[in-house]
Amino acid sequence: MDGTLMQRPDQPAMLAALERLVATESPSSDKTRCDACADEIAKLFQQRLGVAAIRHRRPDAGDHLEIRIGEGSGPVVLLCHHDTVWPEGTLGRLPFHVQGDRVTGPGSYDMKAGIVEAAFALEHARPRRPVVVLSTSDEEIGSASSRGLIEETARQAVAVLVLEPAVTGGAIKTARKGIADFVLEVDGRAAHAGVEPEKGVSAIEELAHQVLALKKLARPALGTTINVGVVGGGTRPNVVAAHARAEIDVRFARASEAERVVAAIQGLQPNLEGARLRISGGIDRPPMERSPGVIRLAQLAQRLATDVGFTLSEMSTGGASDGNFTAAMGVPTLDGLGPDGGGAHADSEHLLVESWLQRTQLLRLLIEAL
């Protein structure tokens, strides 16, 4: 197929749709604003496809949207999220703006452009099986309220296509690290640091031992990293600290490494006599491993990209997405099908229009091929 002869997406209409979504700010923790953005997404799919969205209402978080095209089993699932990391009012200093091939605006790249891409790809697609689009409201804060819906929807799927943005440079994502989060609290015993320090048990000293022990658990060559990113403790310089606390971020590329590290952290023991440890937390997202199903899906996408007229590379990344959940279930999952660009979660957030149009064409072909 000659990519130059393929019908190109309606660029002005896509940009107008994206502007409406970006203008409807949707911080993850703001249910009212997330629900307003969900309203705009429902309108978009109604206008482009004539399909009403199913609304999964949540009293404790933003609502999730499900759009179903066609009937039957073995659907293709398009996975999106409409929440962003940006607080309300960010548009005041970072407005939606188009300059040449570059589009800026909070949440444009991560990942409202992917939602628009899904709608416009489906508008002209002729899928051979049902398609389900999910847009959730809490991906940026761990997907606590949407994980069950994501897994239930993906359970019978032939493939999951994640519309998160591409790696900067345009690569799709065929592997993602998993994440575990822990809080380590240390209880010691307070004492006067000058008069009778021997009667105290320093929680800060104990925490220092634990931080060094945690660092020894890392295996960077295998993709396992451990970061103690927040620490605190004590009350005054002249008091032996009775309490200390650390927040720990663990990343792993393999499920076996997740099991090893989680067991080790949960089994930590105090070094100082009289100190006590309290450990909470666990795995937030399993790793997305480069399985045979993922590889076959990536190879299909790469072949179809040549039909559109561009070369598609693949990469792994240390960040996680909702695709981690579906890949861990054994469902072939391909991530990073949104546009090229950069600056996710930063003031420099942007996407590249030509990449966006190409990937909309690619998504249409993928849906039809599956």
Q: What is the DSSP string of 150-198?
A: HHHHHTT-SEEEE-PPPPTTS-EEEEE-EEEEEEEEEE-B--BTTT-GG
Domains 3-176+287-369 and 178-285 in one fold: no
Q: For the chain, what are the domain ranges? A: 3-176+287-369, 178-285
Residue spans of alpha helices (H) in the chain: 11-23, 31-49, 113-123, 147-154, 203-216, 255-266, 292-308, 323-328, 353-369
Question: What's the rounded Cα separation, in Å, for the pair 346 and 14?
Answer: 23
Token digits of residue 73:
């089993």
The counts of H helices and E strands in the chain are 9, 16
Render pLDDT for 83-128 as a digit per residue (tens, 0 to 9): 999 999 999 999 999 999 999 999 999 999 999 999 999 999 999 9
Q: 31-49 and 11-23 are packed helices; what angle lies between their axes, rounded to 10 degrees?
A: 160
For residue 310, count other CB atoms closer than 10 A to its CB: 16
Q: Regarding the domain delimited by 178-285, which CATH topology (the fold level of the hierarchy) does it fall under?
A: Alpha-Beta Plaits (3.30.70)
Per-residue pLDDT of the chain (370 residues; tens, 9 = 90+): 444 346 789 999 999 999 999 999 999 999 999 999 999 999 999 999 999 999 999 998 999 999 999 999 999 999 999 999 999 999 999 999 999 999 999 999 999 999 999 999 999 999 999 999 999 999 999 999 999 999 999 999 999 999 999 999 999 999 999 999 999 999 999 999 999 999 999 999 999 999 999 999 999 999 999 999 999 999 999 999 999 999 999 999 999 999 999 999 999 999 999 999 999 999 999 999 999 999 999 999 999 999 999 999 999 998 899 999 999 999 999 999 999 999 999 999 999 999 999 999 999 999 999 9
Helix axes 31-49, 113-123, angle to 10 degrees: 20
Task: Give yes or no for a contact between 148 and 134, defined as CB atoms under 8 angstroms apart.
Answer: no
CA distance 165 to 226: 26
Residue 298: which of 341, 254, 333, 253 has the closest Cα?
333
* Buried b / exposed e along 237-270 (16+ C-beta atoms within 10 A): eebbbbbbebebebbbbbeebbebbbeebeebeb
Q: Judging by beta carbons within 10 Å of its beta carbon (0-12, 13-18, 19+), is residue 87 exposed, middle or buried?
A: exposed
Q: In CATH, what number does 3-176+287-369 get?
A: 3.40.630.10
Distance CA 115, CA 14 (A): 10
| pLDDT tens digit sequence for 263-290 | 999 999 999 999 999 999 999 999 999 9
SS3 label, residue 335: strand
b/e per residue 174-207 (b: at least 16 CB within 10 A)? bbbbbbbbbebbbbbbbbeeeeeeeebbbbbbbb
